[in-house]
Amino acid sequence: MTIEPTRMLTGPGVLRVVWLPGSDQLQGTCHCGAVHVADGPVEVWDWLLAHPVGHEPQPAATQDQPVLVGAGV
């Protein structure tokens, strides 16, 4: 069973935990899309907080970065 919210935050700092209806399990989703199912909140949060080690979020877009002008160089 997949739970799809109608609205949600996105970005490199967003970690998600949802309850899987009909079970006693929680599903954790990392900002990179990796998913882990656990029996309790401690296990799922331990995985989520340790998982991002070793990988960086992909850049959202390849847009030019804004340049600050008139800062009195």
Q: What are 46-58's pLDDT values in tens digits?
A: 888 887 665 555 4
Q: 22 is in which domain, residue-wise?
A: 16-50
3-state helix, strand, coil in the chain (%, to 5): 15, 15, 70
Model-wide pTM > 0.85: no
Is 61's pLDDT higher than 90? no
How many helices (H) and strands (E) are present in the chain, helices listed first? 1, 3
34: in domain: yes
32: in domain: yes
Q: Predicted confidence band at 42 (pLDDT cuts at 50, 70, 90)?
A: very high
72: in domain: no
What integer pLDDT is reported at residue 12 of this predicted model?
72
Total domains in the chain come to 1
46: in domain: yes
